[in-house]
Amino acid sequence: MYVDHHLAVKPRKKKKKKPKRKKSSVNRSAKQSSPPRIPVASLLSSGQFPIGEEVEYLGENAFRTTNEEKRYLDRMNNDFLEEYRHGAEVHRQVRQWAQKNVKPGQSLTEIAEGIENGVRALTGHQGLEEGDNLKGGMGFPTGLSLNHCAAHFTPNAGNKTVLQKEDVMKIDFGVHINGRIVDSAFTMAFDPIYDNLLAAAKDATNAGVREAGIDVRMSDIGAAIQEVMESYEVELGGQSFPVKCIRNLNGHDIIQYSIHGRKSVPIVKGRDQTKMEEGETFAIETFGSTGKGYVRDDMETSHYAKKADTPNIPLRISSARTLLSSISKNFGTLPFCRRYLDRLGHEKYLLGLNNLVSSGIVEAYPPLCDVKGSHTAQFEHTILLRPTVKEVISRGDDY
């Protein structure tokens, strides 16, 4: 049953100046293949990648749009911006293919590999030669988290899970060019009873994107997100469930080759007075849940990342030393999963991998799940706080 009238609070509509969305410089007549296999750089008509959604700063920062010094700083960032826009266009083309082609009955492994093969082809980096994956490709493994599981699940080898019609699947993947990671996510459901859950997360993410900007406090962003998310409810099996923000999941800043920087963007109101600053890049992501609105580690780990600046720790297990060398050369501090080690030809590496984790060199990121029986949804965008405008780099026609 389609549910669209169970909003606890109807959001007030404000008339707003529409943000500028620049004309695409991708030559749409030179069509992307299906599945996507043509590098996006070869589809360019102007030699430049499409600009994301540009939003002018407001209030005390309104001067930035026309300020000469800020415009000069913006022009100096051209390489950085082109790398980000390149990754964003790859993300859009791959995810739009996934939205049309992912269907119940497919295995999660098939879905993950379909997305990852697309990203590698469109960036022009297969990642099989040593160091190639550090130039471009997957920014982190494809998250395919189902139902009560909110994040950090990707199938390991041998996983036989098949997508069902009643599943709610978060698809969260990253694309990077030269370590500039575009982090963006969306949720797919095949039964319209979940429409309000998806709408809650999508609207809440857009509220966070709108609120974010130079000198904005994290607490204000969290409050704006929570107000929108929790104005929704979902009717499932004749019972009404309020949509709750998952309070212990956050957005985050992104730095080169590191998906999580030093700042967190809360999705509930709080006291964090930290401000966003000029030149920073943020992933604004929100998670809505019909459960407790709180996640815990659960299930088998698939995601890992080498920690930055780890001290030189002597490793007694030779397989750990071999594996660390391969991780450093192929991923650096970019997250990876077990399937990526399989793909590079590693075998029987679990003892070595667990040794790297217990030695504090590699961080394990287990799946994060709410209570069983609940359903969760996520949407996410990457934003660049340029000196002159906020650029929603991952914005597309889809979300």
In the set 53, 167, 285, 370, the catalytic residue is 285
Annotated catalytic, 272?
no
CB atoms under 10 Å from CB of 91, counted, come to: 26
Task: Specify the residue for token string 């996640």.
Answer: 295
β pairing state of 296-297 and 336-337: unpaired
Cβ-based neighbours of 391, under 8 Å, separated by 6 or more: 51, 52, 53, 54, 55, 81, 383, 384
Q: Cα Rg for the chain, rounded, in angstroms? A: 21
Q: Longest C-alpha distance within the chain, in Å?
A: 64
Annotated catalytic, 346?
no
pTM of the model: 0.93
CA distance 362 to 304: 7
CA distance 205 to 260: 18
- Could you tell me the sign of the dihedral formed by the alpha carbons of 88, 94, 100, 105, in that order? negative
DSSP string, 262-326: S-EE-SS------B--TT-EEEEEEEEESS-S--EE-S---EEEEPTT--------HHHHHHHHH
Annotated catalytic, 380?
yes
pLDDT score, position 14: 40
Which two structure tokens, joined as six digits, stand for 286?
């929100």
CA distance 206 to 219: 16
φ, ψ (nearest 5 deg) of residue 349 = -100, 0
Task: Specify the residue for token string 């009873």.
Answer: 193
Nearest CA among 331, 314, 321 for reference residue 353: 321
Annotated catalytic, 172?
yes
DSSP string, 88-106: HHHHHHHHHHHHHH--TTS
CA distance 65 to 58: 10
Nearest CA among 77, 42, 3, 61 for reference residue 234: 3
pLDDT score, position 8: 35
In the set 183, 253, 370, 391, the catalytic residue is 183
Answer for the pair 165, 364: CB distance below 8 angstroms, yes or no: no
Mean pLDDT by 10 residues, the chain (399 residues): 30 46 57 96 90 96 97 94 98 98 98 98 98 98 98 98 98 98 98 98 98 98 98 97 98 97 97 98 98 98 95 94 98 98 98 98 98 98 98 98
pLDDT score, position 45: 83
CA distance 227 to 267: 10
Answer for the pair 88, 123: CB distance below 8 angstroms, yes or no: no
Annotated catalytic, 260?
yes
Answer for the pair 134, 176: CB distance below 8 angstroms, yes or no: no
Which residues is 239 bridged to in the sheet? Answer: 236
Task: Specify the residue for token string 């394990």.
Answer: 364
Segments of 117-206 assigned E as strands: 136-146, 149-151, 168-177, 180-189
CA distances from 67 to 19, 21, 221, 251, 393 (A): 19, 21, 26, 30, 22
CA distance 173 to 160: 21
In the set 91, 148, 252, 375, the catalytic residue is 252
Nearest CA among 31, 25, 67, 62 for reference residue 46: 25
Helix axes 195-211, 218-229, angle to 10 degrees: 160
pLDDT score, position 47: 80
pLDDT score, position 24: 53
Distance, CA of 220 to chain centre: 22
In the set 91, 148, 260, 381, the catalytic residue is 260
DSSP string, 182-248: EEEEEEEESSGGGHHHHHHHHHHHHHHHHH--TT-BHHHHHHHHHHHHTTBEEEETTEEEE-EE-TT
Which residues is 56 bridged to in the sheet? Answer: 389
Annotated catalytic, 253?
no
